[in-house]
């Protein structure tokens, strides 16, 4: 945790982020926001969840405070702690507290990675009470109407054990994300990867083929994000096949057979 006080203004999104809707996710999220309900975004990595939150925050004109959860994340990391400054204990809000006070959107990315005792702190915030207890200060914050809590998780590679508890997940309005359909994915890859359709099209095909390798033991196929990264390499002059290997195959696996299978796919398309 940095020793510096976070400032909410740093979390405002001034420019409209590019987001191509893939269904009714915006209408549902808007309704959840106005009802004061928290959001649960589920879906594989790199399919647009973070971009969606950035767009939503911009649309609602709220700052977006994102926290990437990990198994070392403590309640203090979220809520805040006393720090010693010039010999004095000074309270410093954590990102969650800062978001509640400011009526911002707090996005806890990969929530299932966080320790159970850490996620408990969001329970009273996620239900009708919309409160955040700050135990160390004996303070109970009530979230303003503008505050929204959003969490994400990837149902693909979380074990059953790590799955969200029913009591937690039943508080949320859930949005299911997946890779965009080929037409939309091509549009996104062209724009974000700065590519022409003649390359974006086979790249999207390649992604679909790698997603089919799940049955052969590949944990996850190429995400939209990986296609964009491939496009950027190509844009910098890296030959297409080399770019596909570096940004897709090698990024996805170390398994020789899977790498060989992906090499064949790449050669069949380019
Ligand atoms: P996630 O949070 O699901 O891991 P991201 O939101 O970071 O994934 O998506 C990865 C990248 O893919 C984004 O930076 C963006 O460039 C692109 N992307 C994916 N879906 C969309 C979409 N629907 N509209 C615009 N860009 C998208």
Write the pLDDT tens digit of every residue in 176-191.
999 999 999 999 999 9
Query: What integer pLDDT is reported at residue 114 of this predicted model?
Result: 85
Domain stops at, among 124, 149, 176: 176
> Does 158 lie in the same domain as 121?
yes
Domain stops at, among 118, 152, 176: 176
Q: Which residues neighbour 136 within 8 Å (Cβ) at sequence distance 6 or greater?
A: 76, 79, 80, 81, 82, 91
> Does 36 lie in the same domain as 141?
yes
Query: What integer pLDDT is reported at residue 74 of this predicted model?
Result: 92
| Predicted TM-score (pTM) of this structure | 0.93
> Does 116 lie in the same domain as 81?
yes
The domain in which residue 140 lies consists of: 2-176
pLDDT category of residue 171 using cuts at 50, 70 and 90 = confident
> Does 193 lie in the same domain as 172?
no
Separation of alpha carbons 119 and 150, rounded Å = 13
> Does 195 lie in the same domain as 77?
no
> Does 150 lie in the same domain as 21?
yes
User: What is the separation of C-alpha 186 from the centre of its chain, rounded to a whole number of angstroms?
Assistant: 21
> Does 82 lie in the same domain as 66?
yes
Q: What's the ipTM?
A: 0.99
Check which CATH number belongs to the domain holding 92 and give it: 3.40.50.300
pLDDT category of residue 166 using cuts at 50, 70 and 90 = confident
> Does 201 lie in the same domain as 150?
no
Percent of the chain topping pLDDT 90: 81
> Does 121 lie in the same domain as 8?
yes
* Residues lining ligand 1, Cβ inside 6 A: 18-20, 22, 45-51, 180, 188, 192, 224-225, 228
Q: How many angstroms does the Cα of residue 168 sit away from the middle of ligand 1?
A: 26
Q: How many angstroms does the Cα of residue 21 sit away from the middle of ligand 1?
A: 11
Residue 134 vs residues 79, 125, 239, 263, 266: alpha-carbon distances, Å = 7, 12, 54, 53, 53
22 pLDDT exceeds 60? yes
Q: What is the pLDDT of residues 47-92, one digit of tens each?
A: 999 999 999 999 999 999 999 999 899 999 999 999 998 999 999 9
Atom 27, ligand 1: residue with shortest CA distance: 48
Q: What is the pLDDT of residues 107-132, one digit of tens each?
A: 999 988 888 888 889 999 998 899 99
Reference 155, options 9, 56, 41; nearest CA is 41
Name the domain count of the chain. 2
> Does 73 lie in the same domain as 197?
no
Query: What integer pLDDT is reported at residue 1 of this predicted model?
Result: 46
Mean pLDDT of 251-270: 96
DSSP string, 226-245: HHHHHHHHHHTT--HHHHHI
Q: What is the pLDDT of residues 213-231, one digit of tens each?
A: 988 889 899 999 999 999 9
pLDDT category of residue 2 using cuts at 50, 70 and 90 = very low
162 pLDDT exceeds 70? no
Contacts 24+ apart (CB under 8 A), 198-201: 199/231, 199/234, 199/240, 200/227, 200/231
> Does 222 lie in the same domain as 188?
yes
Domain stops at, among 158, 176, 194: 176
User: Could you tell me the two tokens for 218?
Assistant: 């590949």
> Does 192 lie in the same domain as 162?
no
User: Exposure string (b/e) for 83-103, b if CB count within 10 Å is 16 or more?
Assistant: eeeeeeeeebbbbbbbbbebe
Query: What integer pLDDT is reported at residue 4 of this predicted model?
Result: 59
């Amino acid at each position: 945790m940095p020793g510096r006080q976070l400032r909410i203004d740093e979390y405002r999104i001034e420019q409209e982020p590019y987001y191509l809707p893939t269904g009714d996710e915006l209408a549902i999220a808007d309704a959840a926001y106005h009802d004061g309900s928290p959001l649960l975004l589920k879906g594989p990595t790199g399919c647009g969840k973070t971009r969606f939150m950035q767009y939503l925050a911009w649309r609602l004109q709220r700052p977006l405070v994102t926290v990437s959860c990990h198994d070392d994340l403590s309640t203090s990391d979220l809520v805040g702690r006393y720090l010693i400054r010039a010999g004095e204990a000074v309270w410093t809000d954590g990102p969650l507290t800062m978001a509640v006070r400011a009526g911002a959107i707090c996005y806890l990315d990969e929530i299932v990675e966080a320790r159970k005792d850490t996620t408990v702190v969001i329970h009273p915030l996620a239900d009708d009470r919309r409160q955040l207890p700050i135990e160390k200060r004996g303070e109970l914050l009530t979230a303003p109407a503008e505050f929204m809590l959003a969490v994400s998780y990837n149902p693909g590679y979380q074990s059953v054990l790590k799955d969200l508890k029913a009591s937690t997940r039943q508080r949320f309005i859930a949005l299911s994300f997946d890779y965009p359909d080929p037409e939309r994915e091509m549009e996104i890859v062209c724009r974000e990867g700065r590519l022409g359709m003649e390359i974006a099209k086979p790249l999207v095909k390649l992604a679909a083929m790698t997603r089919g390798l799940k049955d052969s033991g590949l944990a996850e196929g190429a995400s939209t994000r990986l296609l964009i990264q491939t496009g950027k390499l190509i844009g910098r002059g890296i030959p297409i096949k080399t770019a596909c290997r570096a940004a897709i195959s090698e990024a996805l696996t170390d398994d020789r057979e899977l790498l060989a299978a992906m090499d064949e796919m790449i050669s069949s398309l380019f």
